[in-house]
Amino acid sequence: MPIARASHLSRRGLLAAGGAIGLGAALAACGDGDDKNKGDSQKAAEKSGPWSFKDDRGKAVETKSTPKTIVAFTGTAAALHDYGIEVKAVFGPTKTKDGKPDVQAGDLDINKVEILGNVWGEFSVEKYAALAPDLLVTDMWEKDALWYVPDNSKDKILKLAPSVALWAAQLSMPAALQRRADLAAALGADLKAAKVTEAKTRFEKAAARLRAATKANPGVTVMIGSASADLFYVSAAKTSADTAYFQELGVKFVEPKVNAQGFFEELSWENVGKYKADVIMMDNRSTALQPDALKSKPTWTGLPAVKAGQVTPRTTEPIYSYAKCAPILDSLAQAIENAKNVA
């Protein structure tokens, strides 16, 4: 599970807070908007009349017409963008300290979307209300918990527009991909477009490559890691959509003794060598310390995988489009193809 970094780390700081919106929530006024910036598929969808979508909470979200003013968690917005569906605003890691796009922003033009919040716990309700939103979209790591929707303002936020939540855990990557594609199609995307079908073909080829890599190098063990100044987190593969799929394809993962949440085990840096691994997949988000920042920690540099140069990035919160997930599979396949048994 992604670890939401906060100044005061708590269970609610590690998990997304949120709740299900009632079906009777009032739809905010849409306004005329600017049709010049809309894709043809979106224009066509807007003429179709009443719109509905059943999300992963089992909630049937219904509006009078296809949502125009969409606000989404950054990674989900990036996935919709790959299908040709654009959002008006985002929340979640979008821009790094030096002003560049965060890894979770994908191909979004971060200068063309309103950023309602860029870090955990930040969400401008005032800016959100001013947009007159039609729909809020985000991920879900626990049932009914809306990712990056702050607990202290969720009630105000969820009163302003209907919301859609899609699982990022408790399922496998193909299912997560399908659900984002389903939503994109409902919003007007053409899933038969060449760009989409070609990306899906690349994904399928990458999956076949990873499966072949695990068969060709069956002794390789992989650890899923994420680093902070004080702790090293070892994640369980089965709980996240990406690593659950890698496991299905034959990747052998370290199995940590997870905490009560069930997603990961926290280790002090003195105990970072508790598990033996040939390859370490390291959380590549801007909220996590990267390998270059860990060179001063002797327990890190002493790990066999680190000594062997067998550390590879992990896209901890994938952008669930075929275009973005194919390279993730290829990267892991290459790491396993080239790995030596060093643990």
Integer CA distances (angstroms), 125 to 12, 14, 163, 267, in order: 20, 22, 15, 36
What pLDDT, on a 0 to 100 scale, did the predictor assign at position 48? 58
Average pLDDT, the chain: 88
What pLDDT, on a 0 to 100 scale, did the predictor assign at position 21? 25
DSSP class per residue in 66-105: ---SEEEEHHHHHHHHHTT---SEEESS-B-TTSPBPGGG
At 136-192, the pLDDT tens digits run 999 999 999 999 999 999 999 999 999 999 999 989 999 999 999 999 999 999 999
Q: Is the pLDDT of residue 268 over 50?
A: yes
At 208-266, the pLDDT tens digits run 999 999 999 999 999 999 999 999 999 999 999 999 999 999 999 999 999 888 899 99
What pLDDT, on a 0 to 100 scale, did the predictor assign at position 73? 98
At 90-136, the pLDDT tens digits run 999 999 999 999 999 999 999 999 999 999 999 999 999 999 999 99
At 217-226, the pLDDT tens digits run 999 999 999 9
Q: Is the pLDDT of residue 13 over 70?
A: no
Share of the chain above pLDDT 90, in %: 83
Share of the chain above pLDDT 70, in %: 86
Q: Is the pLDDT of residue 1 over 70?
A: no
305 vs 343, more confident: 305
Integer CA distances (angstroms), 238 to 246, 251, 253, in order: 9, 11, 9
Q: Is the pLDDT of residue 36 over 60?
A: no
31 vs 180, more confident: 180
| Of 154, 182, 179, residue with least CA distance to 169 | 179
Tokens at residue 322, please? 């075929």
| Of 266, 325, 235, 312, residue with least CA distance to 2 | 235
Residue 170 backbone class (left: φ over 0; alpha: ψ -120 to 50; beta: rest): left
Q: Is the pLDDT of residue 37 over 60?
A: no
What pLDDT, on a 0 to 100 scale, did the predictor assign at position 105? 97
- A 10 A CB-CB count for 154 gives 20
Read off the pLDDT of each residue in 9-18 and give the average, rounded to a whole number: 34
What pLDDT, on a 0 to 100 scale, did the predictor assign at position 151? 94
Query: Could you give the CA distance from residue 224 to residue 21 in angstroms, rounded to a whole number?
Result: 34
Read off the pLDDT of each residue in 31-43 and give the average, rounded to a whole number: 43
